[in-house]
Amino acid sequence: MNKIFARTWLIVVYLFLYLPIVTLVIYSFNDSPLVSIWSQASLRWYRALANDRDLIASVVLSFKIALIVGLLSVLFGTLTAFVLTKYKRFYGRTFFFSMATAPLVMPDVIVGLSLLLMLVSVQHWLGFPDRGLLTILLGHALLGTAYAAVVVGSRLKEMDIRLDEAAMDLGCKPRQVFRLITFPLIMPSLISAFLLTFTLSFDDVVLASFLSGPGYSTLPMVIFSRARLGLNPSINAVAAVTIAVVSVTVIVSSIYQMRTQRKRNHEIAMRYSDGIQ
């Protein structure tokens, strides 16, 4: 009885989570310009997508920003995580820790407003930067740093500290220890952090709206302005494409992860079959 209850609960919640996604995709093939009323299946909105210059430009911009944001976030996120795991005691550590975790929970609007006001003051003072690509980049990179720090930090925490010491014992100077030991071992989490922050940046609308300037519209900004006006079939088409890309990536990486794990488990089990120790 308990098992049926458990399974039902799980299935219902999954259905709830996937209902909007599935309907988005299905109705992207709806011929009617009235999004929610089904007329017939067609690809017309996909064709329209190919000609939608504004949308395509915004995709390119979002992609560019997301790429750089990913790299910056991994860089600063790793630095932050490294500093927090390695140095338990330094001047202003609690302050540092609060700053590193604040963007994770603070409402987007506050992050956006505060960053904008800061950048405007800087602009007053130094003459640049003008609101546009660079400012959006900084905003996303801040958010990304916080997330990357969590991802890389949890891996760093798991890592055996004895490995660092063993390396030093064998003649490694501290900088070499990072290059030869720490870095290769945290590489998977660096990749996860990159993908996470890339997605975050590609997806964000609030920060981008606060921080962008004339002529710089990211994909979420375009979608948002259209969505505010009402239902729009072009959005369905974009959505379907995005969902397809994301799903494929997530499924492929999951399968890859599961396979590697299975192979590793197999290798560990095999080691005892060699016979004597």
Of residues 202-231, those binding other proteins (CB under 8 A)? 202-203, 205-206, 209-210, 220, 223-224, 227-228, 231
Does 256 participate in binding other proteins (rule CB under 8 A)? no
In whole angstroms, how close is the CB of 265 to other proteins at the nearest point? 10
Q: Contact, 24 vs 243, CB < 8 A?
A: yes
Query: Which residue in 21, 67, 71, 134 binds other proteins (CB under 8 A)?
Result: 21
Burial class (CB in 10 A: 0-12, 13-18, 19+), 78: buried
In whole angstroms, how close is the CB of 97 to other proteins at the nearest point? 4
Distance, C-alpha 277 to centroid of its chain: 45
User: x-or-dash pattern for other proteins, window 235-254, by CB under 8 A?
Assistant: xx-xx--xx--xx-xxx--x
Stretch that binds other proteins, among 40-48, 51-59, 125-133, 201-209 (CB under 8 A): 201-209
In whole angstroms, how close is the CB of 88 to other proteins at the nearest point? 7
Determine the longest span between alpha carbons in the chain, in angstroms: 74
- Which residues 62-101 are close enough to bind other proteins by CB under 8 A? 76, 79-85, 87-88, 90, 92-101
Concatenated DSSP letters of 95-157? HHHHHHHHHHHS-HHHHHHHHHHHHHHHHHHHS-PPSSHHHHHHHHHHHHHHHHHHHHHHHHH
* Count of residues near other proteins by CB under 8 A: 120
- Which residues 125-144 are close enough to bind other proteins by CB under 8 A? 138, 141-142
Q: Name the residue nearer to other proteins (CB basis): 60 or 231.
A: 231
Q: Contact, 193 vs 79, CB < 8 A?
A: no
Query: Which residue in 154, 179, 191, 256 binds other proteins (CB under 8 A)?
Result: 154
Does 174 participate in binding other proteins (rule CB under 8 A)? yes
In whole angstroms, how close is the CB of 83 to other proteins at the nearest point? 5
Q: Which amino acid is located at 122 in the chain?
A: V
- What does R_g of the chain's alpha carbons equal in angstroms? 24
Question: Does the CA dihedral 51-55-61-65 come out positive or negative?
Answer: negative
In whole angstroms, how close is the CB of 104 to other proteins at the nearest point? 8
Residues 6+ apart with CB under 8 A from 191: none
For residue 30, the SS3 value is strand
In whole angstroms, how close is the CB of 56 to other proteins at the nearest point? 17
Distance, CA of 203 to CA of 224 (rounded, Å): 11
Distance, CA of 102 to CA of 109 (rounded, Å): 13
In whole angstroms, how close is the CB of 103 to other proteins at the nearest point? 7
- Which residues 31-50 are close enough to bind other proteins by CB under 8 A? 34-38
Q: Name the residue nearer to other proteins (CB basis): 57 or 178.
A: 178
